[in-house]
Amino acid sequence: MDRTEKREFVAGLAQVFAETSMVVVTRNDGLTVAEVTDLRRRMRAAGVTFKVAKNRLAILALEGTQFDGIKPLLKGPTALAWAADPVAAAKVAVDYAKTNEKLVVVGGALGAQTLDASGVKALAELPSLDALRAKLLGLIQAPATKIAGVLAAPAGQLARVFGAYAEKGQEAEAA
């Protein structure tokens, strides 16, 4: 990389740090090309961006951002993951680290809050944004369904009473 490419890379990474709310730092000790390809595929499927960056350039990009606290985590062969959904990046990284011991979740940051590895793992256990939206929608729809059931019940009971009186009247006419 020449100087202009490095400047463009740092500027692009700084722009990402300004727009995202969660960054996960991982250490990849000896991942094969096939394993990295599999990891990138999983990340991409979840809407997560996974980037291996030189630590020095990443530290320059972190200057003045809310993720300034993750600078000490950038030692050795590290990679950064981020997404629009904060839970997605943590979830994919932690899930992959469970199946492959060569990828280690070092930590991360959620906004200005720096997280260690256990904090990222706790974040990964939270439901995703889509799952939370589905639960909220279910909670909103449940009362409406119950109200409709309560309102329909008296009408059904009234119809059964009228039906019983009609049968009783028919039996009386037949006798």
Identify whether residues 108 and 157 lie together within a single domain.
no
- The number of helix segments (H) and strand segments (E) in the chain equals 6, 5
Question: What is the count of structural domains for the chain?
Answer: 2
Identify whether residues 99 and 141 lie together within a single domain.
no
Q: Are 83 and 89 in contact (CB under 8 A)?
A: yes
Could you tell me the residue range of the domain that residue 143 belongs to? 127-175
Amino acid at 67: F
Query: How many angstroms separate the CA atoms of 75 and 42, rounded?
Result: 24
**What pLDDT digit, counting tens, does each position of 11-34 carry?**
988 888 888 888 999 998 888 999
The pTM assigned to this predicted structure is 0.69
Identify whether residues 133 and 107 lie together within a single domain.
no
**What pLDDT digit, counting tens, does each position of 100-126 carry?**
888 999 999 888 888 888 888 988 887
The gap between the terminal CA atoms of the chain, to the nearest Å, is 104
* b/e burial code for range 153-174 (CB count within 10 A of at least 16 → b): eeeeeeeeeeeeeeeeeeeeee
How long a stretch of residues is the chain? 175
Identify whether residues 122 and 42 lie together within a single domain.
yes
Mean pLDDT for the stretch of residues 161-173: 75
- Dihedral pair phi/psi, residue 26, rounded to 5°: -125, 155
109, 126, 143 - which closes a domain: 126
Instruction: Identify the H or E element spanning 139.
Output: helix 129-174
Q: Are 50 and 23 in contact (CB under 8 A)?
A: no
**What pLDDT digit, counting tens, does each position of 89-101 carry?**
899 999 999 998 8
